[in-house]
Structure formats: structure tokens, C-alpha cells
Amino acid sequence: MLPSQLGAGDSLLDSLLTQLEAFCWEQRDAFGIRLAVEEALVNAIRHGNCLDCGKRVHVKCQLTAEEFWIRIEDEGDGFDPNGLPDPTAPENLEVPSGRGVMLMRNFMSLVEYNEQGNCVEMGKRRSDLASAE
Amino acid sequence: MAAKGHLEVTESDDVTIVRFLDRKILDEANIQELGQELFDLVETERRAKILLNFQNVEFLSSAALGKLITLDRKQKAQQGELKLSNIRPEIYEVFAITKLNKLFEIFDDESDALAAF
């Protein structure tokens, strides 16, 4: 469980990177996982829990040599991930929302929100194994 | 050479070269400070030609991209030029996914970027 403070997930992310290196995950995979988890945590803390100290972010995570999986749930009202503006549209370039979720979807194999939109599950199979299949 | 806060700022002829001192541009508080330092170069110091060298940068989040987009808008509003260089492949992919590689002029290295001003 993490408090609703920006940077609260730093030690989790550092530990995750160390474990990815220990399992010899490719640099691009490690970069993408790091980025996707960072974006999801910031979304949960800033937009989900609105930096409310009385709310927590619940994180469950599993990493093996082949696969990574994480679930991040906040205590906010949730949002519609399909209702975000397209951040690549010229008129939205200055709009701050949408870019983080777009990066999560591109770097991870699986990104799924629950119906309420306050819980995201993400997964990734390491690229060198996925491409060998 | 001037290093202040999150940036190292040098000159090459009339071009201001900015190198990032942070390897990770992720933390939101740092991004706010870094953004303001970049905006000061445009709004306070009126640097007309700015090159951002990303050689030191290993990680970059979407919040940092937002600052770069705003910087680009401010610089264009003053008829200034902004170019980027030395972006490692993983970070270039972030620009490509978000199509910001179309918005920014991105060069492989500093000398190529300097020659293009």
C-alpha cells in the first residue's frame, strides 16, 4: 500500500528495476515497464486519489524471468480510459491528459481497467521470448 | 558554462545548448522546477536559438513531455528556434508513440543539430 504522495512509488520502482536487471530483461522492456508503472502510479495518486492523504494506492505485483504483472488500484471515483482525448491530435498537443495511458498501452502487452476505472492491470511478456514464439 | 538547478547551459556562437543534469526526468516536483528553468531561457533571457541535448537522460515521463510542448509553443511565439539532440532509442520511441517526433526537430547528435540552425 502506498500513500497518496507523488514519489511514493520511487522505492517500488527502484526495486522493480533491480529485479528486472537481475532477471536479464532487455533494456527496452525494462524501460517500458518502468515508464508504464510510473505513469499508472502518478495517475492513481494525482488523478485517482487527488493527492488526498487519507486515501491509499493498493499495489500488487509479480515478476518472473518471463513475465511481469501489476495491479494498481486507487480509492478515487475512477475514470473512463476510453474517453481520453487523442493526445496525438494537433488540437490536443497542449492537453496534458491521455499521453501517459497511451504510453502504457504501447509499452505493455496488456492494459485493462476495471469498469469503475479506478484499477488498472498491466502485464508484459519479455520481448525476446515473445518474438521467439 | 552555467549550471543551475536541473540544467547546464552553454553557448556555441548564437545557439544556447542545454544539457539536462538529471538522468531521470520523472519526479513531478523536479519537472515543475525544470520546466520553469527552461521557460526562463525563453521568457526572461530571450534565447532565440535553443538546443536541448538529452545525452544524460535515461528516463522521461509524460509530464516532462508536457513541459517540452509548452516550451516549444513559447519559443515559436517569439519566433525562436528549438531543436533536440542525443535522444537514446528508448526515449525516442516515447516521442514517436506520442507523435511528438513530428512536432520537434530531432537530430542524432549535437553537431548535426548545430549545423541545422
- With CA atoms as reference, the chain B residue closest to A106 would be B97
SS3 B59: strand
pLDDT, position A133: 60
Nearest chain A Cα distance for residue B65, angstroms: 9
Compute mean pLDDT per 10 residues along chain A, 133 residues long, and list them. 82 92 94 94 92 94 96 95 87 80 95 97 90 63
The angle formed by the CA atoms of residues B62, B66 and B68, to the nearest 5 degrees, is 115
The DSSP bridge pattern shows strands A67-73 and A56-63 to be: antiparallel
Q: Which helix (H) or strand (E) holds A11?
A: helix A10-22
The residue written with cell numbers 532509442 in the block is: B89
Q: Is B10 exposed, middle or buried (0-12, 13-18, 19+ CB in 10 A)?
A: middle
Domain that holds residue B99: 2-115
Q: What is the pLDDT of residue A122?
A: 98
Contacts of B65 in chain A (CB under 8 A): 99
Query: To probe the interface with B, which of A12, A103, A127 has the most B CB atoms within 10 Å?
Result: A103
List Cα–Cα distances, B14 to A106, A129, B7, B73, B78, in angstroms.
Answer: 39, 49, 18, 20, 16
Q: What is the CATH number of domain A2-130?
A: 3.30.565.10
Residues A94-128: pLDDT tens digits? 777 789 999 999 999 999 999 999 999 999 999 88
Residue B30 pLDDT grade (very low, low, confident, very high; cuts 50, 70, 90): confident
pLDDT at A16 (0 to 100): 93
Phi, psi of A68 (to 5 degrees): -125, 140
| pLDDT tens by residue, B39-62 | 999 999 999 999 999 999 999 989
Task: Give me the interface pTM, i.e. the ipTM.
Answer: 0.87
Looking at residue B15, its pLDDT comes to: 97
Average pLDDT over residues B52-77: 93
The pLDDT, as a whole number, for residue A95 is 74
Quick count: other Cβ atoms within 10 Å of Cβ A133?
5
Residue A44 makes CB contacts below 8 A (sequence gap 6+) with: A57, A72, A73, A74, A76, A118, A120
User: What would the mean pLDDT of B62-85 be, rounded to a whole number?
Assistant: 94
> B80: closest CA among B112, B97, B109, B105?
B105
Looking at the structure of chain B, the number of domains it has is 1
Domain containing residue B64: CATH number: 3.30.750.24
Domain ranges in chain A? 2-130
**To the nearest whole angstrom, how far is the Cα of B13 from the nearest Cα of chain A?**
31
Q: Look-up: residue for cell 536487471? A: A21
